[in-house]
Amino acid sequence: MGMTRFACFLLFTLLLSFSYAAITPMNPLSLGQTLSSSNEVYELGFFSPNKSHNQYVGIWFKDTIPRVVVWVANREKPVTDSTANLAISRNGSLLLFNGKHGIVWSSGVAFASSGCRAEILDSGNLVVIDIVSGRTLWQSFEHLGDTMLHSSSLMYNLATNEKRVLTSWKSYTDPSAGDFVGEITSQVPSQGFIRRGSTPYWRSGPWAKTRFTGLPVMDGSFTDPFSLHQDVNGSGYLSYFQRNYRLTRLILTSEGSIKIFRHNGKDWEPYFEVPANSCDIYGYLQSVNASKGLFLNPLRSGKEETGLVVA
């Protein structure tokens, strides 16, 4: 009987060492450990892209192969120390320590009353919660990377000059900030917009009740996953909803495309992509026409004329 109890205790201890329900000031998350959502849809932990020595704290779908990372904390500052850990201070700040090399990432200042915990929800949202009031002090959905999940949103606020945007990875194996940013414009009605650095790259037509205009993919058969709300105070939110699919994601790729994928139980199925082709990209037709010795005369209804293009 004694050996049985000891074996059960040992198994319980091992399980605790590899998977947590929450990060608390007394229980940081170390390399090799993970934090799972209550129904084990998402998982938080350390990962290493392309089997490099660089380690990142990220969120991924727990049971899909290959692993699909949907959020990264320390995009610009990977950790390399084997004793790295993600901790939470008593006032509610998430802190990523690179061993003895100090803090490389922080969620910022929070104000917990007398205790807090960090947990990952079944929506994929990493939240810091005040254990007394139950108030959410910080959430990853307000600090997006290259991916939107169900119920997350892009936003702008003209009064505070705040924006919530998507920023592509630099490459498939490098989660640091890439060239492309996806956002919604502040005009009314809003438009979807991708820029490459400070240069416009792609733009949708204006929002019209249930969808963006000017996109052939958003035809009458398209089940729109977006909801736009704009108010008179100068703020707007574009929310992403996919209620009929348990696993779904919208991603801004390192090549500058916005794609929606839905999981069918075995594989990721592509559902939506913009730009649809190269002709939708800013300046593409002009560059093609220029290479052919063509230019567009705006005074003659946009008809092509052959001639010398002078810069």
Mean per-residue pLDDT over the chain, rounded? 86
Which one is predicted more confidently, 52 or 23?
A: 23
In the chain, what are the domain boundaries? Answer: 18-143, 147-277, 281-311
180 phi/psi in degrees, rounded to 5: -110, 140
Distance of alpha carbon 60 from alpha carbon 207, whole angstroms: 31
Long-range Cβ pairs for the range 165-172 (8 Å, 24+)? 166/252, 166/258, 167/252, 168/252, 168/253, 168/254, 168/256, 169/145, 169/253, 169/254, 170/254, 171/254, 172/254
- Alpha-carbon span 75 to 3, nearest angstrom: 46
pLDDT at 73: 99
Cis peptide preceding 275, ω within 30 of 0: yes
Write down the residue that tokens 């003209």 correspond to. Answer: 158
- SS3 category, 304: strand
Residue 33's identity, in one-letter code, is: Q
What is the model's pLDDT at position 20? Answer: 64
Interval 155-166: pLDDT, tens:
999 999 999 999
Distance CA 137, CA 115 (A): 11
Which helix (H) or strand (E) segment holds residue 178: the answer is strand 174-184
CB 247 within 8 A of CB 263: yes
Q: What amino acid occupies position 160? A: T
Identify any residues that bridge with 220 across adjacent strands, giving them in sequence order: none
Quick: pLDDT tens for 169-186: 999 999 999 999 999 999
Over residues 230-248, the pLDDT tens digits come to 999 999 999 999 877 789 9
Q: Tell whether the model's pLDDT for residue 8 goes beyond 70.
A: no
Of the chain, the percentage scoring pLDDT greater than 70 comes to 84
Residue 258: pLDDT band (50, 70, 90) is: very high
Q: pLDDT tens across 284-298, in order?
A: 555 444 444 444 433
Backbone φ/ψ region at 108: left (φ over 0), alpha (ψ -120 to 50), beta: left
Three state DSSP letters for 226-266: EEEEECCCCEEEEEECCCCCCCEEEEECCCCCEEEEEECCC
**pLDDT range class, residue 51, cuts 50, 70, 90:** confident
pLDDT recorded at residue 89: 93
Q: Which CATH number fits domain 18-143: 3.40.50.1980, 1.10.10.10, 2.90.10.10, 2.130.10.10?
A: 2.90.10.10
pLDDT over 70 (residue 15)? no
For residue 151, what are its two tokens?
Answer: 């119920």
Tell me the C-alpha to C-alpha distance, in Å, between residue 69 and each of 47, 79, 163, 206, 280: 9, 17, 23, 31, 28
Nearest 5°: the CA angle 15, 17, 23 is 110
Alpha-carbon distance of 199 to 176, in angstroms, equals: 20
Per-residue pLDDT at 16 exceeds 50 = no
* End-to-end CA gap in the chain: 88
C-alpha span between 90 and 128 (Å, rounded): 11
How far is the C-alpha of 259 from the C-alpha of 216, rounded, in Å? 15
